[in-house]
Amino acid sequence: MKARLGRDIGQSDNGTLHWLCFYGSYTNGHWRLWLEGSALGNGRVDGFALKRVGNDAQFDSRCHMLRQEEGGFKLPIPLRLDMSEMEVRNLLGRPSVVSQVTT
């Protein structure tokens, strides 16, 4: 992942999970993107989490800012923050599992 994305990679204590963290802003606020890789991923990203965060969010020093003028990031599908559940289902199809998340 480091060779492709050119950033420092964090890792779990036992070295089995590697991660990259990015953050930035968009029209409606700020976001954080976690990219994860494991031994099963063979050097590729095998998990990610994109989340809207508050304006006062604090980031680890290893989390890198992505500015729009630097290209930001693009997903291969038109998935974006602030989509309704119906929009996401129309784009991705029926979920295999639905759980209740409390935050």
Question: pLDDT digits over 17-36, tens only?
Answer: 788 889 988 888 899 998 88
Rounded CA-CA distance 8/61 in Å is 10
50-59, 80-89, 93-102: least confident range: 93-102
The answer to whether residue 83 is domain-embedded is: no
The answer to whether residue 54 is domain-embedded is: yes
The answer to whether residue 92 is domain-embedded is: no
3-state helix vs strand vs coil in the chain, percent to 5: 15, 30, 50
Residue 23's domain spans which residues?
Answer: 2-75
Q: Total structural domains in the chain?
A: 1
When pLDDT is averaged across residues 1-30 and rounded to a whole number, the result is 74
DSSP 53-102: E-TT----TTEEE--GGGT----SS---TT--HHHHHHHH-S-S------
The answer to whether residue 93 is domain-embedded is: no
CB atoms under 10 Å from CB of 89, counted, come to 12
The overall pTM is greater than 0.75: no
Question: pLDDT digits over 39-53, tens only?
Answer: 787 777 888 888 999
